[in-house]
Amino acid sequence: MSRAAFWVIFGSEFRRLIRSIKLKVLFLATFFPSLLYLFNPHASGSGVDSMLKAFQALMLDLLPNYWLGIIGQLIAIILMSDLLASEIDRGTIRLLLARPVRLSEVVGAKFLAGMATLAVLFGVPYAVIWLYNPVVYDTGTEGLWKGLPNLAGALGATLLVLATLGALAMLISVIITRPLYASLTAFGIVFLLQFLLPQIPYIKNPQRYTLGYQTAVMLKSSFHKVDLSAFGGSPAHTAIFFAATSALLLVLAWAVLMERDFPD
């Protein structure tokens, strides 16, 4: 019964997010670079090799600077901050806890629903470029199959970074239970860390502590047509770090919730 309640919460939360006006506005922001690419792809040559180079170069530019830059970070934080904070703020979390489901499952179900929504928000623009590239470079179905690992690598790296941001936002949102204030606080923490760390003069290569740098490190596992030798680090170790950090932040969010009282 508890497992069924978990998926009921996941499904209802995912449907609510997908149907919301907020998601449509956020989707316009994530889709904008893909829309520009559709109108002006700047094709350089033809064939699979040229297509892969162009896709990797484009994603290497857009991921750190747009989709996982300030815009993307803000989108993830806004969406994920609302998942628990809105329930606490409105008092509806008591209705969730009245079901045969544990608090940890509530946190997990809402996190997965948020991540599924982010996968749609970011995956659709990525997929549009992946589908359009074989047309631009005249590679047909071969181009689709050859480009699929690049699409999977870009989306995988994106979701790992967004999972960490989302878990941090959820942790902040159970401490500061007003969604707007929680979003601003979480974004402020992330922004300041990324702004301050590269300014520290006695830390060697301080930019490696930014999300953009670590995203490029993870892309090394699937992007072989562009030179990523300047980004030191192991893609596997970086991916494990983001996954472990996300799990730790979710556990902390659950622990904080366990200590809270939800009066009638």
Q: What are 195-237's pLDDT values in tens digits?
A: 776 667 776 776 777 899 999 999 999 999 999 988 988 999 9
Among 85-89, 123-127, 161-165, 217-221, whose mean pLDDT is lowest?
A: 85-89
Domain boundaries, the chain: 2-258
> Could you say which DSSP state residue 229 is in?
T
Reading the block at residue 58, the tokens are 């484009």
Q: What angle do the packed helices 103-136 and 48-62 form, to 10 degrees?
A: 140
Alpha helices in the chain (DSSP H): 2-19, 21-39, 48-62, 70-90, 93-97, 103-136, 140-175, 179-196, 211-219, 235-259
Q: What is the pTM of this model?
A: 0.91
Among 3-7, 28-32, 162-166, 195-199, whose mean pLDDT is lowest?
A: 195-199
- Mean pLDDT estimate for the chain: 89
| Pairwise CA distance, residues 235 & 43, whole Å | 29
pLDDT for position 1: 46
